[in-house]
């Protein structure tokens, strides 16, 4: 789909002869064709804008469900994807453990041990700003590695 428009990225030198209709060429005048091309381009731009806006609302929805401890700044798109990945892996692991430990009490005790031994008390109590910003990374670091091994 080469257009006749000269673009900043691509000066369509090879298409010049095709794009300039001579006096003998088709039904539509040159200006009509230019108008049609311009109209289609504008429509495509609008569609693309709408598509990207849809993508961004999806990112916003994802940001809302992904943990953001101690983050006053909104996560970037890349960070959102990384955090979502780690979050999913963490939840998956918790579910797998829940299945492995038949009795509910046994599983609850396990979770208690996991969180309370190192991080959990620190997290719930008074934390320094640096600690709080590193907490999610600490919690999810293992899952991320796990994912990379699988894929």
By the criterion CB under 7 A, which residues form the site for DNA? 1-3, 5-10, 12, 40-49, 51-53, 56, 76-79
Distances 52 to 39, 49, 112, 149 between C-alpha atoms, Å: 20, 5, 43, 32
Which of 63, 89 has the CB closer to DNA?
63
Q: How far is CA 64 from the centre of its chain?
A: 13
Distances 151 to 79, 147, 148 between C-alpha atoms, Å: 19, 6, 5
Which of 51, 61 has the CB closer to DNA?
51
Nearest approach, Cβ of residue 123 and DNA (Å): 24
Nearest approach, Cβ of residue 64 and DNA (Å): 15
Nearest approach, Cβ of residue 138 and DNA (Å): 20
Nearest approach, Cβ of residue 65 and DNA (Å): 17
User: Are 69 and 132 spatial neighbours (Cβ–Cβ below 8 Å)?
Assistant: yes
How many CB atoms are located within 10 Å of the residue 144 CB? 15
Which of 41, 61 has the CB closer to DNA?
41
Contacting residues for 97 by C-beta, under 8 A, at least 6 apart: 107, 110, 111
Which of 103, 130 has the CB closer to DNA?
130
């Amino acid at each position: 789909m080469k257009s006749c428009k000269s673009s900043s990225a691509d000066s369509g030198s090879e298409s010049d002869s095709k794009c300039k209709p001579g006096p003998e060429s088709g039904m539509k005048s040159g200006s009509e064709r230019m108008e049609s091309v311009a109209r289609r381009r504008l429509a495509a731009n609008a569609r693309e804008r709408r598509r990207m806006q849809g993508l961004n609302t999806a990112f916003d929805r994802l940001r809302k469900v992904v943990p953001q401890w101690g983050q006053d700044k909104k996560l970037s798109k890349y960070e959102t994807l990384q955090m979502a990945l780690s979050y999913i892996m963490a939840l998956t692991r918790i579910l797998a453990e829940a299945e492995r430990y038949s009795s509910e009490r046994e599983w609850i005790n396990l979770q208690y041990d996991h969180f309370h031994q190192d991080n959990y008390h620190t997290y719930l109590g008074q934390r320094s700003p640096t600690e709080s910003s590193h907490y999610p990374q600490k919690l999810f670091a293992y899952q991320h590695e796990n994912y990379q091994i699988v894929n």
